[in-house]
């Protein structure tokens, strides 16, 4: 993976006739980017029915099932490290339909079913470092999807279909039916709960059409409404309460002749809808979350032949925008989205990378969402020549030969890249830094890297330089850096290509001569003859 970070307030200086001259560089807002990491890599099987929550401390919790090992698993990231528990294992049957909730103390609660065991609903919770597992029988339920929340008393509320039912565990089990057999069908069901412990469900109705519906007991009795009358609109849905209005909202997918991700909002009396995304590709597994201001954030899976992606969308100023968070290649995935208190967006998903099945987490820092540089290269290497490119086209790496089965990604320890160049003897202006590492493999010979600097043209012009002035600088550690020889320069495509024998911080910028620095400080740079770009 490669991290690209726009730097600002970087100063350079020189000692001249006894005076220290300071020349501030052009400022630029820090751009956000998608980062990704491995939660678990699987020797067999894969992560299914992924459910993620972010707690009040910013710790990330993920529940998921593995169909091959017949396990329910739970992963938690705290203090920068992942810890993984096996919650339950069944010797012969699949454990399916995992759903995760957190209580007021940030303890995890997971619901799931046992495939081919009629009515078998299971519930596990962790407190004091230990898991407690419980089970009950929901009459007439063919185990599939479950959805769990925890109420203000700490009681578990679990929704299930085929019949739409709500089971409560408060030391003992009780189950109530929201609808009778033959009316709605909770093919995929999701749940939300308000501060008064009222329940809100999204699900499918009418088995032959599977329309999207909404069921609640907010009035004291179970009431249902059809939200979307389009066939199969209820197959995939996610429901959340807007933290500002406390009204429910639902995201869902339509995959008929026209394909959409839909956002439905309730105003207390009726439902309104908006199109989040539409195209020729099919969509599935949408998930919804809100920030504290009531802005919606959506993750979903898009598939079109062999090109599967994890997508991200958000709404700002009444307008929806979307982008690709992760390219998956030829594999499908559930998605689950969450935001922490700082506004960082996280999406959990499954990926197939170089034959390895992995549970991964993509994160995007708060800031200029949907307008940053997507610098996620995150590719497997092997003992053969390798070529790869990041999703945005900002970086291309080719002619790599390595020993070992490794990964090209950002460095694990993220020291500030600006400081890495400030610690060198470099006195120029670094417009952009790419932090690149090769893990678990050894580079044989050289690697050829092409950097696209289109997003730097404004900074370059404002600083009074031409594209031909751009160089690539390589931090070698400590106070040492080198200027890499340019293999190729394309001022039409806005790219510069260099060869390197190692990976670390690569800075894109200019390192002017002392005379140029002095003129910059005195404001006389514009009096110099300018080099004209050759066309």
Greatest Cα-to-Cα distance within the chain, rounded to the nearest angstrom:
90
pLDDT of residue 395: 64
Closest CA to 520 of 478, 469, 447: 469
Q: What angle do CA 103, 107, 110 make, to 5 degrees?
A: 85
Question: Poorest-confidence range of 13-22, 279-288, 425-434?
Answer: 13-22
Q: Is the confidence at residue 171, as pLDDT, over 90?
A: yes
The answer to whether the CB of 500 falls within 8 A of the CB of 449 is yes
The answer to whether the CB of 326 falls within 8 A of the CB of 376 is yes
Query: Helix, strand or coil for residue 514?
Result: helix
CA distance 516 to 159: 69
Query: Helix, strand or coil for residue 519?
Result: helix
Q: Is the confidence at residue 371, as pLDDT, over 60?
A: no
Could you tell me which residue, 416 or 502, shows the higher pLDDT? 502
Question: Poorest-confidence range of 46-55, 421-430, 505-514?
Answer: 421-430
Average pLDDT on 49-55 reads 96
CA distance 236 to 312: 16
Closest CA to 187 of 219, 223, 231, 156: 231
Q: Is the confidence at residue 375, as pLDDT, over 90?
A: no
Torsion of CA 160, 337, 80, 375, to 10 degrees: 150
Predicted confidence band of residue 162 (pLDDT cuts 50, 70, 90) = confident
Q: Which helix (H) or strand (E) holds 460?
A: helix 457-462
335-339 and 165-169 as β-strands: parallel, antiparallel, unpaired? Answer: unpaired
Give the rounded percent of residues in the chain with a pLDDT score beyond 90. Answer: 37
Closest CA to 156 of 181, 127, 182: 127
pTM score, whole prediction: 0.67
Q: What are phi and psi of 502, to 5 degrees?
A: -155, 165
Q: Is the confidence at residue 139, as pLDDT, over 90?
A: no
pLDDT of residue 180: 57
Q: Is the confidence at residue 197, as pLDDT, over 70?
A: yes
Average pLDDT on 74-80 reads 94
Task: Give the pLDDT confidence of 440-457 residue by residue, as tens digits.
Answer: 567 778 888 888 888 778
Average pLDDT, the chain: 76
pLDDT of residue 204: 85
């Amino acid at each position: 993976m490669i991290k690209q970070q726009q730097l600002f307030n970087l100063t350079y200086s020189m000692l001249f006739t006894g005076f220290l001259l300071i020349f501030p560089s052009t400022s630029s807002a820090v751009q956000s980017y998608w980062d990704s990491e491995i939660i678990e890599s699987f020797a067999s099987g894969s992560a299914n029915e992924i459910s993620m929550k972010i707690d009040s401390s910013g710790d990330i919790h993920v529940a998921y099932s593995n169909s091959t090992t017949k396990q329910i698993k739970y992963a938690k990231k705290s203090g920068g490290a992942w810890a993984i528990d096996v919650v339950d294992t069944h010797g012969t049957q699949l454990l399916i339909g995992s759903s995760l909730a957190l209580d007021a103390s940030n303890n995890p609660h997971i619901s799931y079913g046992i495939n081919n065991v009629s009515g078998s609903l299971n519930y596990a919770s962790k407190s004091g470092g230990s898991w407690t597992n419980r089970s009950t029988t929901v009459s007439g339920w063919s185990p599939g999807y479950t959805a769990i929340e925890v109420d203000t008393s700490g009681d578990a509320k679990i929704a299930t279909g085929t019949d739409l039912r709500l089971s409560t565990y408060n030391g003992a089990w009780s189950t109530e039916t929201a609808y009778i057999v033959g009316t709605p069908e909770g093919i995929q069901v999701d749940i939300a709960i308000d501060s008064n412990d009222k329940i809100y469900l999204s699900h499918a109705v009418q088995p032959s059409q599977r329309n999207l519906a909404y069921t609640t007991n907010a009035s004291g009795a179970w009431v249902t409404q059809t939200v979307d009358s389009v066939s199969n609109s209820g197959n995939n849905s996610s429901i959340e309460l807007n933290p500002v209005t406390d009204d429910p909202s639902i995201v869902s997918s339509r995959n008929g002749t026209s394909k959409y991700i839909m956002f439905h909002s309730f105003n207390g009396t009726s439902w309104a809808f908006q199109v989040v995304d539409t195209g020729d590709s099919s969509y599935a597994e949408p998930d919804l979350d809100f920030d504290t201001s009531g802005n919606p954030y959506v993750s979903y899976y898009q598939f079109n032949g062999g090109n599967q992606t994890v997508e991200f969308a958000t709404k700002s100023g009444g307008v929806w925008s979307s982008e690709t968070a992760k390219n998956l290649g030829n594999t499908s995935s559930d998605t689950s989205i969450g935001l922490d208190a700082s506004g960082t967006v996280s999406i959990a998903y499954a990926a197939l990378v170089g034959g390895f099945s992995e549970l991964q987490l993509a994160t995007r820092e708060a800031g200029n969402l949907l307008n940053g540089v997507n610098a996620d290269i995150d590719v497997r290497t092997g003992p053969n020549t390798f070529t790869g490119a990041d999703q945005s086209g900002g970086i291309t790496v080719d002619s790599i030969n390595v020993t070992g089965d490794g990964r090209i990604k950002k460095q694990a320890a993220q020291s500030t890249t600006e400081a890495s160049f400030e610690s060198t003897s470099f006195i120029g202006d670094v417009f952009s830094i790419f932090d690149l590492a090769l893990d678990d493999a050894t580079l044989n010979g050289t690697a050829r890297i092409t950097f696209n600097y289109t997003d730097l043209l404004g900074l370059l012009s404002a600083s009074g330089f031409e594209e031909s002035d751009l160089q690539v600088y390589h931090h070698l550690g400590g106070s040492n850096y080198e200027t890499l020889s340019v293999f190729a320069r394309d001022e039409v495509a806005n790219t510069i290509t260099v060869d390197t024998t190692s990976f670390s911080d690569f800075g894109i910028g200019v390192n002017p001569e002392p005379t140029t620095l002095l003129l910059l400080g005195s404001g006389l740079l514009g009096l110099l003859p300018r080099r004209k770009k050759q066309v």
